[in-house]
Chains A and B, each alone.
Chain A
Amino acid sequence: MAVVQDILVFFQTTPALDAQVVAWARYEASKGTGLGDLVEESDPPYHNAMAAMRDGWQVIQMSELKHR
Chain B
Amino acid sequence: MKEHLLNSKQMAQFVASGYLKFEEMIPQDLCRACLEEMHHNRGYLAVGTPFEETWPKGTALGDTFRLPQVQGLIHSLVGPDPLYDHHAAHLTKAEQTKGPNMHQDSVIDFRDHYFDIQLSLFPADTTDEMGGTFLVPGTQFRNVRTGEISIYHHMRGKIWATCPAGTMYVWNTRVWHGARSNYTDRDRFMYKLRLNPTRPQVCNFDTADLDDPEIGRILSTNHGWEGNEQRYELMQRVRLWRFVSDQPNYDVGERFMRRIEYQPGEAAG
* Residue positions of A touching B, CB distance < 8 A: 9, 11-14, 19-20, 22-26, 34-41, 44, 65, 67-68
Identify 11 residue pairs between A and B in the complex whose beta-carbon atoms are under 8 Å apart, listed by A's number: A13-B227, A14-B228, A22-B227, A35-B99, A36-B97, A36-B98, A36-B99, A37-B99, A38-B180, A65-B149, A68-B108
A38 touches which of B108, B149, B181, B226 (Cβ 8 Å):
B181
Residues of B within 8 A of A22 (CB): 155-156, 224-227
A26 touches which of B149, B153, B228 (Cβ 8 Å):
B153
Residues of B within 8 A of A9 (CB): 151
Query: Are B142 and A25 in contact, with the CB atoms below 8 A?
Result: no
Minimum CB–CB distance for A64 against chain B, Å: 11
Do A38 and B227 form a contact, CB below 8 Å, given A67-B142, A67-B144, A68-B108? no
Query: Are A25 and B227 in contact, with the CB atoms below 8 A?
Result: no
Residues of A within 8 A of B98 (CB): 36-38
Do A23 and B154 form a contact, CB below 8 Å, given A13-B226, A36-B97? yes
Does B216 lie at the interface of the complex (its beta carbon under 8 Å from any beta carbon of A)? no
B153 touches which of A12, A13, A14, A38 (Cβ 8 Å):
A38
Docked CA distance A54–B151 (Å) = 25
Query: Are A11 and B180 in contact, with the CB atoms below 8 A?
Result: no
Residues of B within 8 A of A38 (CB): 98-101, 153, 180-181
Does B262 lie at the interface of the complex (its beta carbon under 8 Å from any beta carbon of A)? no
Query: Are A25 and B151 in contact, with the CB atoms below 8 A?
Result: yes
Residues of B within 8 A of A39 (CB): 181
Docked CA distance A67–B148 (Å) = 10
Size of the B side of the interface (Cβ < 8 Å), in residues, is 27
- Residue of A13, A20, A67 with highest tally of chain B CB at under 10 A: A67
Query: Are B181 and A37 in contact, with the CB atoms below 8 A?
Result: yes
Contact with A along B121-149 (1 / 0, CB 8 A): 00000000000000000000011110011
Docked CA distance A20–B181 (Å) = 28
Docked CA distance A39–B145 (Å) = 24
Does B44 lie at the interface of the complex (its beta carbon under 8 Å from any beta carbon of A)? no
Query: Are B153 and A24 in contact, with the CB atoms below 8 A?
Result: yes
Residues of A within 8 A of B181 (CB): 37-39
Does B185 lie at the interface of the complex (its beta carbon under 8 Å from any beta carbon of A)? no
Minimum CB–CB distance for A24 against chain B, Å: 5
Query: Are A23 and B99 in contact, with the CB atoms below 8 A?
Result: no
Minimum CB–CB distance for B139 against chain A, Å: 9
Which residue of A is nearest B232, CB measured?
Answer: A13
Query: Are B100 and A25 in contact, with the CB atoms below 8 A?
Result: yes
Which residue of B is nearest A20, CB measured?
Answer: B227
Docked CA distance A67–B228 (Å) = 15
Docked CA distance A14–B226 (Å) = 11
Query: Are A14 and B227 in contact, with the CB atoms below 8 A?
Result: yes
Residues of A within 8 A of B224 (CB): 22
Residues of B within 8 A of A37 (CB): 97-99, 181
Query: Are B97 and A68 in contact, with the CB atoms below 8 A?
Result: no
Residues of B within 8 A of A19 (CB): 227-228
Minimum CB–CB distance for B164 against chain A, Å: 21
